[in-house]
Structure formats: C-alpha cells, structure tokens
Structure 1
Amino acid sequence: MTKQRHDYDPNAYNPEFSRAYLAPKYWGTWLMLLAALPICLLVPVRAKYRFAQWIAKKLVKKQTGTILNAWLNLEACFPEQSEQAREAILVETLTTAGAFLLHFPLITLRSRQWLQHHSDVIGMEHITRHTDNGEPVILFVPHTWAIDAAAILFASQGLPVAAFSKRQKNRLLDWLMHRQRVQYGGNCYEREAGIKPFIRAVKRGFLGYYLPDEDMRDESSEFVPFFSTTKATLPSLGKLSKVTRSHIVPVLSGFDAQTGRFVIEVHPSLNGFPTGGSHSDARMMNQHIETMLDGKLDQYMWILQLLRTREDGRNIYQEAKRKRAS
C-alpha cells in the first residue's frame, strides 16, 4: 500500500482550520454539508444522475449569471450549430456538473482504495515513461468539472502534484477544498506568490498541474483560435517547459455522470512543444484542448468567462447582462 506522504512546503498555500469557522457566518455552510452527506453516501448513482438531469433542464432556461456565460460561450464557439443543439450541450454539461457535485465529497469521505477502485485511467504510461526515468513532467489540464480528481488520484499513487490555487471567498469551503486536494500529498501555490515555487517543485519531481484555459487578462496573452472564435491565451507554458526541461502531457480529468466513475484520459506528451514562438505555442495549446474535448463537451466548464478579454476591448458578458436588464 502507498504510504502517506508529507509534502509540506512553507512557500505553498497552507490554510489551517480556524475556530472562526464555527461562527454563525458559516452555519449555513455547515448545514449544507450535513445535508449533503446522506445524499453522497446513500443515494444510488442512477438516482443522482436523474436528479442532476432534472435540475439541469430547469437551470438551462435561466439565461442569467453563470448560465448566461455558458450560453454566450457556446454561441461564440459553435455558431454553426442551432440553438437547440447548443441547449442540448448545456443540458449535458449541467447534468455532468450536478452529478459530480453529488459525488466529489466521497473523495474525502472514502478511502484511497475507494478512489482508485472508482477511477479509470487511460494512458497512464504517457506519464510513467517519463517519471520512471526521473524526467520532469507538467500536466496540461483543461477546466473540467472533475479537474481536481486526477491530481488527487495521482497523489494517491505516489505521484503528487504542484498546482496553482485560487482562494475561495468562503474560507471554510476554501479550507475543506484544500484539505481534499492535498490529502495524499502535493502542494498548491497562489499565483500572487509568483512562479518560482512552482518551478522548484517541478524540478524536485512533483507533477506540475497547469491549467491552460483561464483568461487572466494578462497583456502577454495571445489571441488565437479556440473552436470557432478566438481566445486570449497565456503562452507561458512554453517558457515553463524550457525552464524546467519538462515534458508536457495533456490530461482530461473527467467524470461519467451515469456510472459515477472518474475517467482520467492521459494523452502522449506534446511533440514539437514549445514551438519557438508564443503565438504558435498558444495555438497548439488550444488545438489540444479541442482534441481532448472532442465528443466530451459536457465535461468542460462552459460557465466560466472564457472569452472575457476580446481584441476589440468588448466584454460580451457585461453587454449581455446589461441588455437583459434593460
């Protein structure tokens, strides 16, 4: 059995439990967690799927908030498809999201063996062929609903990751999510702390966990094709690959809503990357996201403001919000 790892790094994000989390401010969160426990533990997988599907069909009609974000993203990325077809994608997306939310506490509530038994990993050899030789690896992981599952699973198998994390506004949930992420080892770093701790961790043998599709509103972003639109994409992965001399291995961390299993797809390391140019690096990254999502669009977090930065300076999300408010 894999031994418990202790990968404490003083430079990492290491939130601790606080007595303040027992204050009335967090009672609603505690009640939500207590109510979720019997659903997670006792409700059959099929029933969770049906419930998530029912909720999804209700939510898809509400073109506000994050649902509106998803509608706008799908319209921009798939303009050739009918509104009915895009709605079908969104219903499947929200169903997968809901079913996953009813399952993900089990990663903490159950054992290491439970997680490994309920996960299917396809292509693990694309990672171990490098790690077995002591070669550094950075995983290229798009924003799927089960984005943390692959990192936790790999850590449970003795391959801990180094990742970036963003603090949640709800500090109790932030602490709980962090404890889940590092329960079998690994470290999370805040972006505000800079890139150096992440680089050091990768050089020490941690799997780098890089999320390539966030719109960081960074001036160094390149505008490159993403499905049928263009997207501001950070090309920094190429620089990270050079500095750490890492192989870049794409990973899709997925969840099968109908079976309740985590499905991790590992692709061969990127050949010819970095390309030697920031624009071509960014384009290659988006192409691989499109490839990984082929036939699996429901896995992706279409609710994010993926297209917040536009070449013409517009904010399509704010514009749509104002239009519906008028």
Structure 2
Amino acid sequence: MSKYTVPTFSLAMLHPKYWCVLLIISVSYLCSLLPYAIQIRFGKLLGRVVLSFMKRRTRTIKRNLELCFPDMTDAEREKLTKQNIENTGLALLETGMAWFWSNERIAKHTTVVGMDHIDKLKAEGRGALLIAVHSLNLELSGRAFGQYAQGMAVYRPNNNPCFDYFQLKGRSQGGHTLIHRKNVKFMLEALNDGAFMWYAPDHDYGRRRSTFAPLFAVENACTTTGTSLLADNTNCAIVPVVFVRDNDSGHYTLTIKEPMIDKFPKGDEHAGACFINKIVEESIMAKPSQYMWLHRRFKNRPDGEASLY
C-alpha cells in the first residue's frame, strides 16, 4: 500500500445522502470566521447541549475519570466532567479553526516552544516519532506545528467519502503528508529518511498488536505495540509534544519536549508500552480537562476480566 491517495471532490458528493456532511462543513467554516471570543462561548454551549442528549458519552467521561483518578473527590471529578463536556463542544469549532484559518490567524493564537529540538534533529538527519495524545484540540496542534515544520501523520480514512475529502484537505494544511495507518512499510522508510511523524498511541486500538500496561490507576490498559514496531526498526527519536489552550485567553501553546534518544526500551514491547503510557500521562495532566475522555479507553480487558464499563 502506498501513501494515502488524496481524494478529489466529485459531483457525486452533492447527492442528498451527503447533505448533512456538507451542512456541518459549511457551518464549521462560517463559525471559523467569527471572533474567537464568540467561538469559545458558542463551543462550550454546544458541548453542554449536545452531550445532554448523549448520555452514554457523558457516562463514559465520568467512568474514565473514576478509573484514572480514584483519589479525586466527587466534587473535583464533577467539575472536571463539566469542563470536559464544554471543551468537547469547543473541539468542533477548533477543528474549523485548524482547517479554515489563515496562517496569520493561526500564528496570532499559537506559540510553539522547543522548535530548536526539531532543528537539531534535522541537522543530524534523524527522524522522530512525535508522541501526541488525543486532546480535544488535536487538529489545531498539527496545524500549529505546520507553521514551522512539515511533518507526517498516521491517518485513518473516514468511511464517508465526502467527509474524508474535507478531513484530508484540512489535515494536509501546511504540506503535511498523511500515511494510512496500515502502511507500516512507508512509515519505517519515512522515519529512516529523517521524517517527523505525528503518532498518538494513547487510545485502545484493540487487542491485535497490543499489550496490557499501566495507565494512571488502571493496572491493565490495552496499549498498542506499534510504537515499539516503529522505534525498534528505525533510528528515530521519541519526542513528546503537548498542545494546550491557555484557559479562555484564546491562546494555545505547543510544547516540543526534549527528544528521548536511546532511552526507549527497544526489543521489549511491554516495557515500551509502559514507557509510552508514562509520556501519555504527563501530556494529559498538562490540561486534563482538554483530553478526549469520551473515548472508552479501557474497553478491552485481559482474558477473564470483567468489563470496566
């Protein structure tokens, strides 16, 4: 499989079955034109309204927080849940910002810290796995990085061809290359050629090519071994990247942390998963209210263990 083929717009996408997607994209574009202060207020309201009808997602948020932070008081978790619900709605508008804002507007609202680490790796000709997490503003973080350096991102095509066209077009802003998640051969070649690849190993991707490793207070979290596959077969550095919104100021900070060279435990998938989950924990704790807690992170369990949900 070659790198992901860019889909093209066709008249077939004007079929009524795609009108809902086209409406969502149109509204997202129009919202991106509004002043940021209005967008953030509208986004939080949207989160409260939408998730009030999505009771299962709200329960997932609360359950994840219970599992990860058992020492929190009920009041603390309730406050964090409310903030996360609001930020989930805001994520829809932040996606529009990432896809439709100009370079100048992106630069106005974002600060990148640690780009000197990337420059040094470039000079050495060393590729890097940029370890990100599924923060609710993940789309915007990739766009912010693209202001200063082109990168690659592991990508799962959307099943809806119309949405997939707009999603790939938006994520390709700044010249990024998207790599199909199953195209491991191309990933290895790219890393060996000195590419910088965005990689988010924090979700539960199923038991295939995974191991169970600790994550926060959960002893056995199903964790992909894909990081080990990529790190074991290349000379890439492991570079944690953290992207947060600075409260409601309208400003975002992308922090590129010091590269971890020769620190990743190669040849041991379980140790590698434990290593990565520590990075994931630190990234989430930078702004826990901005993480995608609505994902059922612990849905896969070891044999014989009951569901946590």
TM-score by length of 1: 0.84
Alignment of 1:17 onto 2:6: no
2:69 and 2:12 map into 1 onto residues whose CA distance is 46
1:201-220 mapped onto 2 (5 Å cutoff): 201-220=190-209
Residue in 2 that maps onto 1:195: 184
Contact 1:53 1:91 in 2 (8 A): no
Contact 1:96 1:257 in 2 (8 A): no
Q: Which of 75, 86, 97 is the equivalent residue of 2:88?
A: 97
3-state secondary structure, aligned to 1:127:
helix
1:228 and 1:81 map into 2 onto residues whose CA distance is 12
Alignment of 1:254 onto 2:247: no
Q: Which of 61, 69, 72 is the equivalent residue of 1:78?
A: 69
2:192 and 2:159 map into 1 onto residues whose CA distance is 32
Q: Tell me the amino acid that sits aligned with residue 130 of structure 1.
A: L
1:264 and 1:288 map into 2 onto residues whose CA distance is 15
Alignment of 1:149 onto 2:140: yes
Contact 1:40 1:102 in 2 (8 A): yes
Give unpaired runs (5+ residues) of structure 1: 1-8, 318-326
Shift in Å, 1:17:
1.4
Shift in Å, 1:57:
4.4
Shift in Å, 1:243:
1.5
3-state secondary structure, aligned to 2:233:
helix
Residues 1:185 and 1:205: Cα distance change in structure 2 (over 3 Å): farther
Contact 2:222 2:298 in 1 (8 A): yes
Q: Which of 274, 282, 303 is the equivalent residue of 2:273?
A: 282
**Identity within the alignment, %:** 25
3-state secondary structure, aligned to 2:83:
helix
1:83 and 1:57 map into 2 onto residues whose CA distance is 20
Residues 1:191 and 1:295: Cα distance change in structure 2 (over 3 Å): closer
TM-score by length of 2: 0.89
Contact 1:163 1:198 in 2 (8 A): no
The Cα offsets for residues 224-247 of structure 1, whole Å up to 9 and x where unpaired, read as 111111311123313312322001
Moved more, 306-315 or 46-55: 46-55
1:302 and 1:212 map into 2 onto residues whose CA distance is 15
1:205 and 1:286 map into 2 onto residues whose CA distance is 25
Alignment of 1:234 onto 2:224: yes
Contact 1:148 1:253 in 2 (8 A): no
The Cα offsets for residues 141-168 of structure 1, whole Å up to 9 and x where unpaired, read as 11111223333333332x3222221122
Q: Tell me the amino acid that sits aligned with residue 95 of structure 2.
A: F
Shift in Å, 1:295:
4.2
Residues 1:59 and 1:23: Cα distance change in structure 2 (over 3 Å): closer
Contact 1:100 1:257 in 2 (8 A): no
Give unpaired runs (5+ residues) of structure 2: none
3-state secondary structure, aligned to 2:33:
helix
Shift in Å, 1:250:
0.4
Q: Tell me the amino acid that sits aligned with residue 91 of structure 2.
A: F
Moved more, 275-284 or 179-188: 275-284
Contact 1:250 1:268 in 2 (8 A): yes
1:34 and 1:155 map into 2 onto residues whose CA distance is 24
Shift in Å, 1:55:
4.1
1:49-88 mapped onto 2 (5 Å cutoff): 49-58=40-49, 64-88=55-79
Contact 2:9 2:165 in 1 (8 A): yes
Q: Which of 162, 169, 184 is the equivalent residue of 1:172?
A: 162
The Cα offsets for residues 238-295 of structure 1, whole Å up to 9 and x where unpaired, read as 3312322001100123334613333212111225213542222111111111112224
The Cα offsets for residues 288-319 of structure 1, whole Å up to 9 and x where unpaired, read as 111122241012111112111112353434xx
3-state secondary structure, aligned to 2:124:
coil
